[in-house]
Amino acid sequence: MGRILKLTLVTYFVACVSCLQYKVVDLTHNHGKDSIYWPTHSGYERYIDHRGLYEGTDIWVASNTIKTTEHLGTHLDAPQHFNEFSWTTHQIPIENLVGPGVIVNVKSKVVSNADYMVTKADLEAWEDQYGKIPDGAIVIMNSGWHDRYPDKTRVFNTSNPNDTTSFHFPSWGKDAVSWLIAYRSIHVLGVDVPSLDYGQSVDFPVHILISKENIPGLENVGYLDKIPESGTIISCAAMKIVDGSGSPVRVFALIPKISDSNSAMKYHFSLFVLLCSLVSFKMLNDNF
């Protein structure tokens, strides 16, 4: 009897889970010659190794070699990027690169202040609306700057994108990040701009803060208006580059959805049956 109940429990669990589907949203800009990168870094190059029929056969083959800085386009900053003793790219635990999505919308703030820095009050406003920032969250600023990509003059907000002293774009404020580190347990901090520190920064306090705490960073995240500010799962699994200071990354969000018009009822009914099965199974075990 116990085995039958176990099988029944598993069956209902599978039925329950099958009612859920996920919409996958890409949050990554294309990685190529037009990608944004810091002017002190090298850019992107691609060399064609082979393109055509393979050595006298009728098999068509394509193969390329690419040369790219780790910090180009949508990419991840490893903690060692700004701290000698912190994790390199290949040392970051994979579970630290996925978590609940927390999108902090400051688009209205940057309209009149391109150098805006996200504040603790912005984080508290998010929590007032959605609840406490969950443990293991991937917290990303949405300034709307991702819509400017890949126009360098608009992304760096300057007529001379090779002059770092002329940059004007928003990012995280030191106090807000210090609060996140002290009072919330986040996995990753991200932005839709080229740097985790605002454009006019010269001492990069946010980079230094998160690197010391082994918190990876995401820069140039795209398409944030396509996902809700809460309720997603975000993945930013980077290439496992040995001793890397960062990596190009394919960031995407999973948005739970109901598979059809009747699935909500099926889902909740399955949960009810699952709960009843658990109770029955517990009572049976207690009696035997």
pLDDT of residue 17: 46
For residue 143, the domain's CATH number is: 3.50.30.50
- Regarding whether 26 and 7 lie in a shared domain, the answer is no
The residue-averaged pLDDT of 199-206 equals 99
- Regarding whether 225 and 118 lie in a shared domain, the answer is yes
Say yes or no to pLDDT of 285 above 90: no
Q: Range of 268's domain?
A: 2-19+260-287
The lowest-confidence range among 13-27, 179-193, 226-240, 261-275 is 261-275
The residue-averaged pLDDT of 235-243 equals 97
Q: What is the pLDDT of residues 67-121, one digit of tens each?
A: 999 999 999 999 999 999 999 999 999 999 999 999 999 999 999 999 999 999 9
With CA atoms as reference, report the closest residue to 191 among 96, 122, 103. Answer: 103
- Regarding whether 231 and 141 lie in a shared domain, the answer is yes
pTM of the model: 0.84
- Regarding whether 75 and 7 lie in a shared domain, the answer is no
pLDDT of residue 14: 46
Q: What is the pLDDT of residues 268-284, one digit of tens each?
A: 555 555 455 555 544 54
pLDDT of residue 257: 86
Domains of the chain: total: 2
pLDDT of residue 277: 54
The residue-averaged pLDDT of 51-59 equals 95
